[in-house]
Chain A
Amino acid sequence: MATLQLREALRRAMNEEMRRDERVFLMGEEVAYYDGAYKVSQGMLKEFGDKRIIDTPIAENGFVGLGVGAAMAGLRPIIEVMTWNFSLVAYDQIINGAAKVFQMTGGEYSVPMVIRGPNGAAENLGSQHSQALESIFAHFPGLHVVSTCDPADSYGLLKTAIRDPNPVIFMESELMYGYKGEVPDEEYLIPFGKAKIVREGTDVTLVSWNKQILNCERAADELKKEGISAQVLDLRTIRPLDEQALFDAIGKTHRMVVVQEGFPFAGVGAEIVARVTEGAFDALDAPILRITNRDINQPYATNLEQLVMPSVRRIVEAARAVVNR
């Protein structure tokens, strides 16, 4: 068992898959000679050369679309976006292209492609660099959406993503690239659609993913002091969604709080509330509450930003509210 940073775990997954399969290549802004904007691809140019580790011009629409085409031609592109905010320049290629090619060609062409990069707020980056965009990709059939920051999970899920025959939206976290975790030495893959119970509890389930899992764990520590036993469920993949894990959780704790970065309106949290309400209404002892970004574009100043984001305090208050109802 080695202790790896998130960026190291991601790199290990890519390195192994590139050694295993000649069709895999990595393309994006600053992935090669700069060693990656966040050093995820550090050293990869040296091992694989500039045929397979490719710096691009700043032209997301073009190079994401290139990835779609290269995948249709049988290659296995990993396209890095410097942040998911920039992927919006290429949204057409992802939504109208990658997500639809397999179906609209009647199964003639598939798009085995990974698009990966950091998602969600870091610190003080303002409106255009702080968004969490899971919901606007998970909306579309044809895409898989992974969002995680645990090093061991990220390693296993990225390997699955690279081998998957479909386009995978793989969301990492800028703040968490240096986050360390134990990663087993042997090779393993983690299937999509399997949530993970990070902490067992009996009174309330805190459902989240990616870096908000850490806030949920801190909230669970706080709640424990008050005698409230909180379970933390990490979804890991948003699409496919592990519906059964949600039903099992509500069947056990009967109360749930969803903690989601990003805006509340039509967010992933709303989908979870709808699914659990539709599928397990009788198990509910309280309404499911959502803790999300407040419904406002990200301000720059630290105090304002902290007001906007999900926080331990807000999660604790929501958990108390559903438990003490």
Chain B
Amino acid sequence: MADKVEVPEVEITKEQLLGWYRQMVRIRRVEELAAKAYTLRKIKGFCHLYIGQEAIAVGSHAAVDAKDDLISAYRIHGQVLARGGTAREVMAELFGKQAGITKGIGGSMHMASKKLHFWGGYGIVGGHVPLGLGSAFAHRYNESGQISLTFFGDGAAQQGAVYESLHMAQLWKLPAVFFCENNYYAMGTSLDRQSYLTDMSRRGDGVGMTRWQFNAFDVVDVYKNVKAAADYARSGKGPVILEGVTYRYRGHSMSDPAKYRAEGELEEKKQKSDGIELAADRLRDDFGVSDADLAKIKVEIDEEAQDAYDFADNAPEPDEDALYDYVYAPAEVE
């Protein structure tokens, strides 16, 4: 039988919550400007926006160590920003510029940073989950005390690679947290049409893995649930699979008008469970932060996002002489 884990309440300071609020606003604003740039053809290719799900990235990254490895799928702009990537390097990557976080080679789906222990985005649905398993294996092998945190969606939960990874992580009790961000749509197919079980944490049941589901709209809820899971995995007891219930406001990608949603569904989610508004409520109610202070943060972030946009727009294109530099890694110096 899998363990039951109690998720303890946590004390959050005003400074913590203000930081998270700022980070969520940053993600949303950078992506809104990215959407604008996309319509102007300054950003091309695929562009999967995270708007609506910001609380998950921000709460999760706050709950793990800087040296834990994180890996996610193709909806990653918000993940990179939450992990410490700058608005400039994210925007420049989207614009396909040398100053981008992966030098304009990766693009929207592939932003990685060794310094941030962020393994990046992955364009094959579910295909990155075995890599998160490999990270956990390495942490155990090296007795590093670190864990891996692997994000995937409700769509990816159907892939065999995910099952195999969950199973081996549990078989070997590896220090891994698997986090299913259930945003209710696998591209355009709603959860009830693409999954027999709709609690994706139950993917853990078949392998005996500790698992639970929680509402992931409130950043504080995300923080405490991921912290409990990370503490459990780090203690050597084995991996955890979490499902965070969330909702994506935009289409699957920029080319998707999302006509498959039920009428009123999006508006209801925005009104009742917007992560940024929930955090604003807490800041006002619990810490006495004024509307003016919150508005000031938004103005600062607007400026930062616009700066990133202008920076990316004017930055040089990638170096053509370096075209072949990243096909094969150079030999290690002994």
Measured CB to CB, the residues of A under 8 A from B are 25, 51, 56-57, 59, 61-75, 92-93, 96-97, 102-112, 141-142, 163-166
Is there contact, CB below 8 Å, between B120 and A51? no
A143 to B171, CA, bound (A): 30
Known contacts A107-B103, A108-B113; A62/B329 CB under 8 A: no
Kindly identify which residue among A65, A71, A105, A106 contacts B133, using a CB–CB cutoff of 8 Å: A65
Q: Are the CB atoms of A92 and B135 closer together than 8 Å?
A: no
Subset of 15 A-B contacts with CB under 8 Å: A25-B141, A51-B141, A56-B168, A65-B130, A69-B130, A69-B148, A70-B135, A75-B138, A92-B161, A97-B128, A97-B130, A103-B326, A105-B110, A109-B112, A165-B328
Decide: B131 and A65 in contact? CB cutoff 8 A: yes
Interface contact B120-A105, CB-CB below 8 Å:
yes
- Given that A65-B130, A106-B101 are contacting pairs, would A72 and B141 also be in contact in the complex, using a CB cutoff of 8 Å? no
**Which of chain B's residues have a CB closer than 8 A to the CB of A102?**
326-329
Contact for B326 among A71, A73, A107, CB less than 8 A: A107
In the complex, what's the smallest C-beta–C-beta distance from B273 to chain A, in angstroms? 33
Which of B142, B164, B325, B328 is A62 in contact with, Cβ under 8 Å? B164
User: Closest Cβ of chain B: how far from A168's Cβ, in Å?
Assistant: 11
Complex interface: chain A residues within 8 A of B325 (CB): 107
Q: Are A64 and B130 in contact (CB under 8 A)?
A: yes
Report if B225 contacts A (CB, 8 A): no
Taking the closest CB of chain B, its distance from the CB of A109, in whole angstroms, is 6
Given A104-B105, A105-B102, A108-B113, CB of A62 within 8 Å of CB of B139: no
- Interface set, chain B 114-151, CB cutoff 8 A to A: 114, 119-120, 122-124, 127-139, 141-142, 148
- Please give the number of chain B residues whose Cβ is less than 8 angstroms from any Cβ of chain A in the complex: 49
Contact A108 B138, beta carbon cutoff 8 Å: no
A61-B164 contact given A69-B132, A109-B119, CB 8 Å threshold: yes
Cβ of B106 < 8 Å from any Cβ of A? yes
Q: A107-B326, A109-B119 are in contact. Are A62 and B110 (CB under 8 A)?
A: no
Contact B131 A72, beta carbon cutoff 8 Å: yes
Residues of A within 8 A of B160 (CB): 61
- Contact status A59-B167, CB under 8 Å: yes
Cβ contacts under 8 Å, A65 to chain B: 127, 129-131, 133-134, 161, 164-165
How far is A62 from B171 in the complex, measured between Cα atoms in Å? 13
Known: A63-B168, A97-B122, A105-B110. 10 other contacts (CB 8 A): A62-B130, A62-B165, A66-B133, A66-B137, A68-B134, A75-B137, A93-B161, A104-B102, A105-B119, A106-B105
Asked if A72 and B135 sit within 8 Å, CB to CB, the answer is yes
Kindly state whether residue B332 has any CB partner on chain A within 8 Å: yes
B interface residue numbers (CB < 8 A to A): 69, 71, 100-106, 110, 112-114, 119-120, 122-124, 127-139, 141-142, 148, 160-161, 164-165, 167-168, 171, 325-332
Query: Which chain B residue lies CB-closest to A111?
Result: B329
Chain B residue numbers with a CB within 8 Å of A164 are: 331
Give A59 to B100 CA distance when docked, in angstroms: 36
Please give, as numbers and ranges, the residues of chain B lying within 8 Å of A71 by CB-CB distance: 134
Assembled-state Cα–Cα distance A73/B134 (Å): 8
| Bound-state Cα–Cα, A134 to B245, Å | 45
Chain B residues within 8 Å of A112, by CB:
329, 332
Q: Is the CB of A106 within 8 A of B131?
A: no
Q: Is the CB of A165 within 8 A of B135?
A: no
**CB < 8 Å neighbour of A165 from B138, B326, B330:** B330
Rounded to whole angstroms, the CA-CA distance of A106 and B113 in the bound complex is: 9
Contact of A165 with B141 in the complex, beta carbons under 8 Å: no
**In the assembled complex, which residues on chain A have CB atoms less than 8 Å from the CB atom of B161?**
61-62, 65, 92-93
Q: Which residue of B lies closest to A67 (CB)?
A: B134
CB-CB under 8 A for A57 and B134, given A70-B141, A93-B127, A109-B114: no
Known: A63-B168, A105-B110, A106-B101. A75 touches B141 (CB 8 A): yes
**Which B-chain residue is minimally distant from A51 (CB atoms)?**
B141
- Whether B138 lies near A74 (C-beta < 8 A) is yes
Q: Is the CB of B105 within 8 A of A62?
A: no
Q: Which residue of A59, A63, A96, A106 is within 8 Å of B106 (Cβ)?
A: A106
Which B residues are CB-close (under 8 A) to A93? 127, 130, 161
**B112-A106 in contact (CB<8A):** yes
In the docked arrangement, what's the CA distance between A107 and B323, Å?
A: 12
B150 to chain A, nearest CB (A): 9
- Identify the closest chain A residue to B121 (Cβ): A104
| 3 shortest interchain CB distances as A-B pairs | A69-B134, A65-B130, A62-B164
Q: Of all chain B residues, which has the CB nearest A71?
A: B134
